[in-house]
Amino acid sequence: MSGEPRRLLPSPTERLVFREMTEDDLDRMAALLGDPEVMAFYPAPKTRAESAEWIARMQESYREHGHGLWIIETHDADFVGDCGLTWQSANGVPVLEVGYHVRREMQRRGYATEAARACVELAAREFAPTLLTAIIHPANDASRGVAENLGMSHVGDDHAHPWIVRTVMGMQVPPA
């Protein structure tokens, strides 16, 4: 027995399936995380090496917590982006966050909301009752819109970073 937590995955949605990231996803993730428009609200787009580190961190999160950001694909295996549940920090307090990134050419089709809603349902089954958050750059209206579509509202501001005050959206997730 490894002592690792049970590995979780959100249920498939009408258009999307989830799977764990692997090293084979590096080209797709490097393109996603290296896209200046997708990463406009991060300090900078990620390099290929940083994208490889991203995948490695998610694999470690799967082992340590049973969850992380997962690859999201259409049912015919078209890469959409990533979405999932990760532990983050807001003002030094650990919070469960739903995060999402969608390829530029697939944005504005509801994929982020659909994937994030499946993650909310997973949080309800596995972690509820709990506060689920989305930590967002204050100018990222699209991401805030996804959070609001999930039922989140502004619960505070994260002052932990000297370069930005981030908006913390959140909702209490009851058991499923």
CA dist 69 and 9 (Å) reads 10
Concatenated DSSP letters of 70-120: EEEEETT--EEEEEEEEEEEETTEEEEEEEEEE-GGGTTSSHHHHHHHHHH
Tell me the angle at which helices 141-150 and 111-126 cross, rounded to the nearest 10 degrees: 40
* Residues β-bridged to residue 133: 97, 170
Residue with tokens 């805030």: 144
Q: What is the CATH number of domain 16-173?
A: 3.40.630.30
Both structure tokens of 168: 């913390």
pLDDT tens across the length of the chain (176 residues): 457 899 999 999 999 999 999 999 999 999 999 999 999 999 999 999 999 999 999 999 999 999 999 999 999 999 999 999 999 999 999 999 999 999 999 999 999 999 999 999 999 999 999 999 999 999 999 999 999 999 999 999 999 888 889 999 999 999 98
CA dist 172 and 110 (Å) reads 23
